[in-house]
Chain A
Amino acid sequence: MDGFGGGPGGRGQGRLPDAFLRPGSSSFVEFLAEHAPDRLPGAIGAGGSIGAAGAVAGQGGYPRDLAPHATTIVAVTFDGGGAAGADGGSAATGSSGGVVMAGDRRATAGPMIASRSIEKVFPADEYSAVGIAGAAGIGIELVKLYQLELEHYEKIEGSLLSLEGKANRLATMLRGNLPMAMQGLTVVPLFAGYDLERNQGRIFSYDPTGGCYEEREHHGVGSGSLFARGAMKKLWRRDLDAAGAVGVAVEALYDAADDDSATGGPDTVRRIFPVVASVTAAGYSRLPDDDVAAVAERIADERRERGSLA
């Protein structure tokens, strides 16, 4: 019966390794760690690159000066038009709420502007968005892997993770970057999504050690977040609709760019405007640049009229 093909010895040649066929995990990161750990970004899972990062820090000054850093990200929830006041009861589909996330377009390496047109807000999946502040290279790689992680889960399980599930997954992946964060290559994401069970937009923030905290109403991360948060505190109202939330987010970035050198404002010469995305029951959608330009212009006009010099 087994005179054919050489039994188990026949395996391995030209065939997918057993890891592919092993039942179990729905996580791509776990699969990667098991099957191809060398392809994991930076230090996720493997502590091997601590030494490398230390060497970089030692020879070339602070990593902050070497690696481009992404700056300010804000997220603003809104409740939709008809839902003012009522909480869970207004869950009926239609004009229910959502969340808007926006990020400026500047990356800096020390005092230099490394990029004027970097994008730092991404769709995590159909119903969530993720923005990154901190070391851009590591952050973008983290986002790429995170997007894949969510899609992989969705394809294998045939269903979406809950919003908390997605938020926690990001925390776990971020925790793997701790050794790099200790060396100065910190990544701080901001995660926002539409909760299909509660029918509302929600925001989650993180710290470099992987702590995950739910934020209410609005939040900002990155070097300009101090100013952006201050602006949002004054501008945010409970009855914001989607357009209002976009206005608040863009204005908060405007304020951040005003006072933080690492945050870029709207660039009307090159026509580079913040990336603004909204996540609602209809899914993730990025606002066209022209719409953002109109909002940015309106804000500039309002401020001109006010005539303040400060």
Chain B
Amino acid sequence: MNMPFYVSPEQLMKDRADFARKGIARGRSVVVLAYDGGIAFATENPSRALHKISEIYDRIGFAAVGKYNEFENLRVAGVRYADLRGYTYDRSDVTARGLANAYAQILGTVFITESKPLEVELVVAEVGATAEDDQIYRLTYDGTVADEHGHVVMGGQAEQLGRKVGEGWRADMTLGEALRLAVTVLGSSDGGTPRTIEPGQLEVAVLERARPRRAFRRLTRQALAELLAEAPGETESGGEGGTATPQAAPASSESAEPTESAESTEPESTEPTGTTESTGSGESTGSDESSGAAEPSESSDGDDSTPEPPAAPREGPPQD
């Protein structure tokens, strides 16, 4: 009588994948894209202290979406891994590929063996000597590693936003062009009307190829404002029909999250900066099967393809 119900492995994996996907889809998207001088990371994040984009090593950067405490733990592990490796051998022996493999093992093992998968999605990017040597790896909750080229979007509506970035992206974009594209795309994440995101609400960092050793640099609000304002009329890189100059008058409270107060009742909640809002239109991150399918395909899993925000029912349980 104490015997557990039989659950088929397929069902088990699917449940876990759905669970992780829902958690991830609630977060704000992160856009990672190459530009002519390196690799840029951008996300909407009003917090100055709780970063979603970080430095791992000299030429390696890290970006994450999902539960803050989980990816923060992975970030610290990555810094330790890289520093230990560089200390044991040489600084040039620390590579994004090695780090991505280490992360993949953690994510994959937790997905299979722990009671709950990690609700995170990561990008590990390394800027090389030339653009051809750049590496961008995307890791999903189940340990899948995908080698991306040029650009990648993760988080809520990754599929849809990724397509928009793909339309506007060119390999030889300047930093200003790349960031304007990224911000325009981030601003269109609500599905409905595109909105402008002011520089103070953005977290932006770059891996600059030209910098001598530590390539990682955060862009200050002021530097960001200048870059975004460079050519206000620019439309072709936006891919959004020139909906708006990416930075404009102080954005109203749209990015201050009306949902924040409700969401952040738990201090440890997924994204400390409020998370629910981006999930308005169904999720698109889903690859159905657990490990095999790396690329998020436009699958709409039967159970939550409705516009109903999947966040609502799942507020409490995962946070502990």
Contacts and interface: CB of A to CB of B under 8 A. Distances in A.
Interface in B1-41: 4, 7, 9, 12
A148 interface: yes
A31 B80 contact: yes
A28 B55 CA distance: 16
A155 B86 CA distance: 15
Interface stretch (B71-79, B170-178, B280-288): B71-79
Given A15-B105, A23-B73, A156 B79 contact: yes
Contacts of A84: none
A128 to B, nearest CB: 15
B49 interface: yes
Interface in B178-218: 214
Given A20-B77, A23-B76, A35 B84 contact: yes
B81 A20 contact: yes
Interface in A1-56: 1-2, 4-8, 10-11, 14-16, 19-21, 23, 28, 31-32, 35-36, 39
Contacts of A61: none
A1 B7 contact: yes
A17 to B, nearest CB: 10
Contacts, number: 77
A21 B113 contact: no
A145 interface: yes
Given A156-B79, A158-B49, A31 B105 contact: no
Given A1-B4, A7-B113, A36 B84 contact: yes
Nearest to B16: A4
A152 interface: yes
B109 A11 contact: yes
B113 A16 contact: no
Contact of A21 (B4, B54, B73, B83): B73
Given A155-B56, A156-B79, A10 B113 contact: yes
Contacts of B51: 158
A187 to B, nearest CB: 18
B55 A4 contact: no
Given A1-B115, A155-B54, A156-B76, A15 B83 contact: no
Interface string B103-145: 0011001001101000000000000000000000000000000
A19 B54 CA distance: 21
Contacts of B56: 155
B145 to A, nearest CB: 14
Contacts of A31: 80, 84
B8 to A, nearest CB: 11
Contacts of B112: 4-5, 10
A51 B108 CA distance: 45
A21 B106 contact: yes
Given A39-B88, A148-B87, A15 B109 contact: yes
A19 B80 CA distance: 9
A144 B55 CA distance: 20
Contacts of B79: 152, 155-156
Contacts of A6: 113
B106 A15 contact: yes
A288 B292 CA distance: 55
Contacts of A2: 113, 115
Nearest to B72: A23
Contacts of A155: 54-56, 79, 83
A125 B81 CA distance: 20
Nearest to A10: B113
B109 A10 contact: yes
A6 B4 CA distance: 17
Nearest to B7: A1
Contacts of B84: 28, 31-32, 35-36, 39
A148 B82 CA distance: 11
30 contacts: A1-B12, A1-B115, A2-B113, A5-B109, A8-B113, A10-B112, A14-B105, A14-B109, A15-B105, A15-B106, A15-B109, A16-B77, A16-B106, A20-B76, A21-B73, A21-B74, A23-B73, A28-B80, A28-B83, A28-B87, A36-B84, A39-B84, A39-B88, A144-B87, A148-B86, A151-B83, A152-B80, A155-B55, A155-B83, A156-B79
Interface of A: 1-2, 4-8, 10-11, 14-16, 19-21, 23, 28, 31-32, 35-36, 39, 144-145, 148, 151-152, 155-156, 158
Given A20-B80, A148-B87, A158-B54, 9 more contacts: A1-B7, A4-B12, A4-B112, A4-B113, A15-B105, A23-B76, A28-B84, A32-B84, A155-B55
